[in-house]
Structure 1
Amino acid sequence: MWRIDFFLDNGYENVSMNDIVKHAGGSLATLYKHFGNKEQLFIYILEQKSEEVFGEWGRKSVCYEGRIEEFLTETGRMFLDLVTTPDAILFHRLLISIGYINDSRLNKTQIQNLMSVPVIIIANYLENEKVNGHIEVEDTYLVAEQFLNAVKGPFLFQTILGIQIDISEETRLKALKQVVTIFCRGLHVIQ
């Protein structure tokens, strides 16, 4: 199956449908029949990757009812493990480069929706905790965004820019523990 690596290695704008056929095999007609264009193929690949990475994560969240600190720690750990991989760094660079191409036809709304999947998973979990009386918070979606931004903040932007920083597991876990502590205290966790 076609993978996003070709886009990562060559840049979205530098890859044509002909390049994809040459790399992956098959026929150009079949590729157009199934996906219509490069944009829809790219979106399809992102959707498949999103399900692969986040599908199980979302399904597991129901197992953490009433255990907010554990949920945030496990979710934050998985998120940090994901966003600090070399492929994730390349992917973010690719998305940034696409965002700066003014005439890009890529549907940025679809990309944003796919990138919001981890936020939605956390927001849904927090909403359930709110309904069950375990936390007091007004906007669970905003809290989820703030949490993930706080988790990735010390690591992602610098690595996207190519700045060498310590992203060891020990450093990531130390930062994560601090973020989880701050968020649990700020959420008024009721136990």
Structure 2
Amino acid sequence: MEKQTCIMTHLCKRRSDKAASRCTKIVDVAHRLFLDKGYENVSMQDIVKVSGGSLATLYKHFGNKSQLLIYVLEQKSEELFGEWGRQSSHYEGRLEAFLQMIATSYLDLLIKEDAILFNRLVASLGYLEETKSLNQTILEVMMRPVYMVAEYLEKEKERGRVEVEDTMLCAHQFLSSLEEPFMFPRILGVSTDISEQRCKQAIHQIVKIFCSGLRPAH
């Protein structure tokens, strides 16, 4: 399974340390503004006002706002989920421990306020004419955590350690089972129990269910 490539990482590697630092600051500022105000309500000038520098330099490095959006999504995806791929080799033959690690990491992200803002941001992009041509690219970036879990399951399947027909679908189902109780009610502003005890209970239950279903029958 082909891993997602972070364009932003390659972009920064080709520049000096100073330029790379500048580019990282721009991405962080754009990310924050997109979350807080919505993509359509943020201009390139707004980003320059906060990050500093010039508008000409911003366009030179990132092309336009929609391309900057892709850079932002890829960079944040790498920051949030890159470690999953780097850690997966340590969990060979340890399905329960792997799912426990993924579930804990993912739920830690889901209960943060930024997760709600991020979901609202991504949902809004599908209705904007400006970003319609980028929807497939955006989807590929958003699917990165699913790809990483599916890649682990595929390797375990090849070694006969798990039984599953569709590893991509299974990975999606696993992550969705974590999202649904904690994300959608909060997006709607409905009060939801996100206490440590509740999160631990959800992780334990979901991991137990999936491990029981994935282990080969003897």
Same fold, TM exceeding 0.5? yes
Aligned length, in residue pairs: 190
| Contact 2:66–2:130, Cα closer than 8 Å, also in 1 | no
Runs of 4+ in 1 over 6 A off after TM superposition: none
Specify which of 54, 73, 77 is matched with residue 27 of structure 1.
54
Give the residue type in structure 2 aligned to 1:188.
R
Match of 1:166 in 2: 193
Q: Which runs of 5+ in 1 are unaligned?
A: none
Give the residue type in structure 1 aligned to 2:37.
N
Match of 2:36 in 1: 9
Residues 182 and 73 of structure 1: CA distance in aligned 2, closer, same or farther (over 3 Å):
same
Match of 1:69 in 2: 96
Specify which of 145, 148, 161 is matched with residue 172 of structure 2.
145
**Cα RMSD between the aligned structures?**
1.4
Normalising by structure 2, we get a TM-score of 0.83
| Contact 1:133–1:190, Cα closer than 8 Å, also in 2 | no
Give the residue type in structure 1 aligned to 2:56.
A
Q: Deviations over 1:133-191 (max 9, x none)?
A: 10111111110000000111111111111111101121011011111111111113469
Asked if 1:105 is matched to 2:126, the reply is no
| Contact 1:68–1:184, Cα closer than 8 Å, also in 2 | yes
Specify which of 73, 95, 102 is matched with residue 46 of structure 1.
73
| Contact 2:125–2:131, Cα closer than 8 Å, also in 1 | no
Q: Deviations over 1:22-62 (max 9, x none)?
A: 12111111111111110111111111111111111211011
| Contact 1:8–1:90, Cα closer than 8 Å, also in 2 | yes
Normalising by structure 1, we get a TM-score of 0.94
Q: Deviations over 1:106-128 (max 9, x none)?
A: 51112111111110110000011
User: For 1:142 and 1:181, how far apart are their aligned partners in 2?
Assistant: 18
Q: Which has the higher helix share?
A: 2
Residue identity over aligned pairs, in percent, reads 55
User: For 1:93 and 1:158, how far apart are their aligned partners in 2?
Assistant: 13
Give the residue type in structure 2 aligned to 1:14.
N
